[in-house]
C-alpha cells in the first residue's frame, strides 16, 4: 500500500481539463511544499512534470499545473492531448526518517 493516495484512473476528452489528486498526511504533503509529479509512458522512465508543488521544469508544457490544499496535492492538465495519456505519480518529502514517499499512480486515458 502506497503512502500517498491517488485515484487509480481518470479520463477526459481532447481539449478538456482533468485533475489528479494526491492525498497524504500532516507528516508529508501537509508539512512540506515538496510535492512533485511524474509522467510515465509505457516502458519508459518517469519524467518530472511539477516540483515544489507548482513549479514546472524547463520544457514542460504550461498545460500542466500543480497546487496543494492541506494534506492533498493536485495535478491539473488543461487542453488534454492524446500524448498526455500515461501514468502519473505524485511524490513527497516525508521527513527525516521516512524521507521519500510515492503515490500509487493514476492512469490517465484520453478518450
Partner 1 sequence: QLQLQESGPGLVKPSETLSLTCTVSGGSISSSSYYWGWIRQPPGKGLEWIGSIYYSGSTYYNPSLKSRVTISVDTSKNQFSLKLSSVTAADTAVYYCARQTNGWLVPIDYWGQGTLVTVSS
Site of interaction with partner 1 (CB under 8 A): 2, 32, 34, 36, 38, 45-48, 51-52, 57, 89, 91-93, 97-105
By C-alpha distance, which of 91, 76, 95 is closest to 26?
95
Minimum CB–partner distance for residue 45 and partner 1 (Å): 4
* Nearer to partner 1 (CB atom), residue 15 or residue 99: 99
Residue from 73, 80, 55, 76 nearest 64 by CA? 76
Select 75 or 101, whichever has its Cβ closest to partner 1.
101
First to last CA, the chain: 29
Amino acid at each position: 500500500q502506497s503512502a500517498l493516495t491517488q485515484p487509480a484512473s481518470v479520463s477526459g476528452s481532447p481539449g478538456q481539463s482533468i485533475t489528479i489528486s494526491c492525498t497524504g498526511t500532516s507528516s508529508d504533503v501537509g508539512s512540506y511544499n515538496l510535492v512533485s509529479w511524474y509522467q510515465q509512458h509505457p516502458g519508459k522512465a518517469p519524467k518530472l512534470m511539477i516540483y515544489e508543488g507548482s513549479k514546472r521544469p524547463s520544457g514542460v508544457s504550461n498545460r500542466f499545473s500543480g497546487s496543494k490544499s492541506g494534506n492533498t496535492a493536485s495535478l491539473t492538465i488543461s487542453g488534454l492531448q492524446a500524448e498526455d495519456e500515461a501514468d502519473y505519480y505524485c511524490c513527497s518529502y516525508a521527513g527525516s526518517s521516512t524521507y521519500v514517499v510515492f503515490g500509487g499512480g493514476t492512469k490517465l486515458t484520453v478518450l
